[in-house]
Structure 1
Amino acid sequence: MASNAVSVEKLKGRENFDVWKIAAKSYLVIRGLWDCFENELDAAATPVQIATDLKAKSELILLLETQNYSYIADALSAKSAWDSLTNAFEDTGLSRKVDLLKQLVELKLNECDSMEDYVNKMVMTSLKVKKAGLKIDDEVVASLMLAGLPADYKPLVMAVENSTKILTCDAVKTLLLQ
């Protein structure tokens, strides 16, 4: 019998919030509960809507490490629980922005396990930078991806430079993963 179980790493705190948020949202969409996290329960909610919201909040609780229960203990709805976690762990302060930007600029292929690992870290870090509130152009991310390559990739970088195509992150990602 095939299992439909979906495994989501539990929320530890700020250190895994960005990745957890993506996985948790996907899980809750699969479970058909994401609407509860987008819309607050209406005062005229039916018993079925109230039960669905309670189920959604319960599913969310099961995706947390126990030390994080305090953040949602007083939440009356699934949406307010989600919002509490976002407010607690989504760091958009200046020091976070600077740290993420530094990580993006300093990321190098030779510090990663593979090209796939490098590309994934570059893309995820650029997404974190954007989510932290910094506007970063796709061409800049593509350029940084090329800049993090070692010297033996110089012919590839020169070929991209001499190309007439517009430099995009997706184009560079595809090229590097071929």
Structure 2
Amino acid sequence: MASNNFSLSIPTFKGDHYNSWAIKMKSYLKVMNLWELIESDVELTLLPQNPTAAQIKKRDEEAAKEAKTLSCIHSAVSDGIFTSIMTCESPKEAWSTLKEEFEGNAKTKLMQVLNLKREFEMQRMKGNETIKEYVSKLMSIVNQIRLFGEIFANERVVDKILVSVPEKYESKISSLEDSKDLSKITLVELVNALSAVDQRRLMREEENGGKIEGLLLAKSHYKKMG
């Protein structure tokens, strides 16, 4: 059961990024000790003709747990999505309906992965971006690809960065080539190394900004004296 020390907010699905929502929702249901009803599609115990009080209690508990699980799924989707599962009688049926409609079949998933890979290859770093912002954008696409079960190694991200960053990073990359085997450099190492270029640029901009501000103040002072 969920701990009393923290509260969980139920993830809401509005029709986009189904795979991300499904992972969050699965974790939520596991914490609430409800996932087994979806994973194994547990059926309610059939009562005999003359059930005992214990059998009736067990059946009532199972029914309450199933109703709670279905209610959780209902609460986790927007009103527009709810219409797709409103007639489902079990949490397993509701989950399967959402999966079939929004995850798609193998052909649909393949097309989505191909589109994401194409989007990844088309990315270029913008002039006003830092290396960390650019890598964050790349990893957002990569993680979407991984959600479809595709293996996408960080080495591919490293290669992408090395061939797509602007000229201002070339001297740093050249120095890395002299000191390291770039085929073995990790994504974290590369980002940290290239971030130094952004930090130096920021420091220069702050220094130049301070000098300009000082000159303007001095000029204003002389005008007042004149």
Return the TM-score normalized by structure 2.
Answer: 0.59
Match of 1:79 among 70, 79, 92: 92
Contact kept in structure 2, 1:41 and 1:77, CA below 8 Å: no
CA deviation vs aligned residue, 1:44-83 (integer Å, no higher than 9, x gap): 4852333223212211211110111122223332222222
CA 1:137 to 1:8, structure 2 compared with 1: closer, same or farther past 3 Å?
same
- Alignment partner of 1:176 is 2:184: no
Pair member with larger Rg: 2
Counterpart position of 1:127: 143
Shift of the alpha carbon at 1:135?
4.9
- Alignment partner of 1:16 is 2:17: yes
Counterpart position of 2:169: 153
- Alignment partner of 1:110 is 2:126: yes
Aligned partner of residue 86 in structure 2, secondary structure: coil
Aligned partners of 1:157 and 1:35: how far apart in 2? 51
CA 1:137 to 1:176, structure 2 compared with 1: closer, same or farther past 3 Å?
closer
Compare relative contact order (CA 8 Å, sep 6+) and give the higher one, 1 or 2. 1
Contact kept in structure 1, 2:36 and 2:42, CA below 8 Å: no
CA 1:153 to 1:81, structure 2 compared with 1: closer, same or farther past 3 Å?
farther
- Alignment partner of 1:66 is 2:82: no
In terms of fraction of residues, the more helix-rich structure is 2
Superposed, which structure 2 residues align to 1:45-64 within 5 Å? Answer: 47=59, 48-64=61-77
CA 1:107 to 1:9, structure 2 compared with 1: closer, same or farther past 3 Å?
farther
Aligned partners of 1:105 and 1:9: how far apart in 2? 31
CA 1:105 to 1:40, structure 2 compared with 1: closer, same or farther past 3 Å?
same
User: Alpha carbon RMSD of aligned pairs, Å?
Assistant: 3.5
Aligned partner of residue 82 in structure 1, secondary structure: helix
Shift of the alpha carbon at 1:108?
3.5
- Residue-pair matches, total: 174
Counterpart position of 2:37: 36
Return the TM-score normalized by structure 1.
Answer: 0.72
Gaps of 5+ in 1: none
Q: Percent identity?
A: 20
CA deviation vs aligned residue, 1:67-116 (integer Å, no higher than 9, x gap): 11122223332222222112111245244233211221123443897655
Gaps of 5+ in 2: 47-57, 196-226
Aligned partners of 2:127 and 2:97: how far apart in 1? 35
